Chains A and B, each alone.
Chain A
Amino acid sequence: MSFKVFQINEEFLDVMPKEIVELQENATWGNPKRGVMDLPFHKELIEEHSLCAGCPEAAALRYIMASIPAPEDTVIVNSTGCTSLVFPHIAMHTIHSLFGNQNAVASGIKRVLEYRYPDRVKDVIVLAGDGATVDIGLDCTLQSFFRQEKITTICFDNEVYANTGGQESGMTPKGHVFKMAPKGKQFEKVPMWQLAIDSGCHYVARLTVSSPKRVESVIKKAVYVAREVGPTYIHLYTPCILEIGLNSDQGLEEMRSKDKERFEFFEYVSPQAQEVIEKRKAEGLL
């Protein structure tokens, strides 16, 4: 399989939609140094999104798509949720798994890709919400860490089941009240980043998406470490502005305020992962 198979036959360049032609001509393929700084100048791999106006999750997806080191050799596994509405609009291989199964599906895909393309590096990245990663899919998520699957798991934590009306999730902080949780959450927020470390992840990061460059840095580190060492986990705070009663222009402000609270930047790097990161830094890829 090669990216060249997606080159448009020149006879059809005039009938193909402009955005598809631009993807071929002006997207950042085959360049591991690609990053969020390319966003204003190159075609993005995400064409448009169908999320709410001002949704921080949309910003997160744009930064992630711009930062993945080898999009032409990456498979994304996603799960049901707001993010799954975006995947039909991105120019990458995506697989929609059953709710909560995403890490099991990703494990299988990664193993088959290693078998099918032994001389080519293929990255598998899981993108799912907190309900799929931590509540319903916690079993599959942790088991993939225990098995040391070489995949990257990214959790979009909005601290609530947002698109089903506002039920509390395991990631909801204690005491928070939502439309469908009127008494307030009775238990503490699940410390998923700590569970990831204890379960064998080699690189773990917790952050908001208020800083695009920081998102780029952790995504690249997580993917490179997953390629060579083992599972990696990124926990992103992407608040649901509708469910917490904010306006479209207040998402960034909300994330910045949480940068100093429960989503203060946290990074764990295992000794093996540190070696990989140093090597990539020396190569100028980080």
Chain B
Amino acid sequence: MAKLGPMGFSPYPTAVNEGVLNPPEGKALLFDEIVDEEVAMREAAKAMLTRENPTIFPGPQVLYAWSEDAKKKAKLIKELAQVLGAKIIPMYDYRPKYPKINPEVEINPNHPNLTIWHNNIKACIFVGVHCHYANVALKIIRAETDCFTIALCSMEGHEDAMITLRDQHPEELEKFIKIAKEVKKELGI
């Protein structure tokens, strides 16, 4: 049976509605607390390494080779998935699918909960998803699932994720991989 998220089936109130705002530059958001980036990265790695069926959801900005940055990020995300032992399910198309999606191979921002329920995902990372679709998807996941969400955002972050890391470019991803390896060692995995 699906377990509901903190908001039940209603995506409201949103994090903003509860007074949670995106972190300032150089900082990260851990639930409703502003913390150092390293602290958030450690917690994110811990969640991905200890929860069931960790999954990375890469969006079009990293799935497609449209810039040198995207190509570098793709390599790093693949490495990150290996370090975290995470599955990769792509969000390659934002349009609502009719009559259904295949939740084993894709996630759609208009009903991301289907993929999370179907695969029993308890921790996930959003990366390379355009802001507005990440916002929609994270709100739905927050409301309808008990999945721990982590947003690796190249811009200002997403307050509806449980952990938000902002300004994430290849250098930051490398740092995250390094921290994930350390956490993995500490946990003896």
Contact = CB atoms under 8 A, between A and B. Distances in A.
Are A and B subunits of one complex? yes
A4 B67 CA distance: 10
B63 interface: yes
25 contacts: A4-B65, A4-B66, A5-B64, A6-B64, A6-B66, A7-B65, A8-B64, A9-B62, A9-B64, A9-B65, A10-B65, A10-B74, A11-B74, A11-B77, A12-B74, A12-B78, A12-B88, A16-B63, A17-B106, A50-B98, A50-B99, A85-B98, A88-B95, A88-B98, A89-B97
Q: Which DSSP category, helix, strand, loop or mixed, fits chain A's interface?
A: helix
Interface in A144-198: none
A16 B92 contact: yes
Contacts of B97: 88-89
Contacts of A11: 74-75, 77-78
A15 B88 contact: yes
A72 to B, nearest CB: 14
A12 B63 contact: yes
Interface of A: 4-12, 15-17, 20, 50, 85, 87-89
Nearest to A18: B105
Interface of B: 58, 62-66, 70-71, 74-75, 77-78, 88-90, 92-93, 95-99, 102, 105-106
A22 to B, nearest CB: 13
Q: Which DSSP category, helix, strand, loop or mixed, fits chain B's interface?
A: loop
Given A5-B64, A11-B75, A88-B98, 18 more contacts: A6-B66, A7-B65, A9-B63, A9-B64, A10-B74, A12-B58, A12-B63, A15-B88, A15-B89, A16-B92, A17-B102, A50-B98, A85-B98, A87-B95, A88-B93, A88-B95, A88-B97, A89-B97
Contacts of A9: 62-65, 70-71, 74
Contacts of A12: 58, 62-63, 74, 78, 88, 90
B60 to A, nearest CB: 9
A17 B105 CA distance: 6
| 4 closest Cβ pairs, A-B complex | A9-B74, A5-B66, A88-B95, A11-B78
Contacts, number: 56
A160 B4 CA distance: 44
A8 B98 contact: no
B79 to A, nearest CB: 9
Contacts of A50: 98-99
Nearest to A12: B63
A17 B99 CA distance: 17
Nearest to B94: A88
A7 B65 CA distance: 6
Nearest to B98: A50
A222 B81 CA distance: 49
A15 B107 CA distance: 12
B95 A16 contact: no
Contacts of A87: 95
A8 B96 contact: no
B108 to A, nearest CB: 10
* Residue with the highest number of chain B CB atoms closer than 10 Å, among A4, A7, A9: A9
A6 B106 CA distance: 17
Contacts of B92: 16-17, 20
A197 to B, nearest CB: 36
A88 B90 contact: no
A16 B99 contact: no
Contacts of B89: 15
A50 B66 CA distance: 31
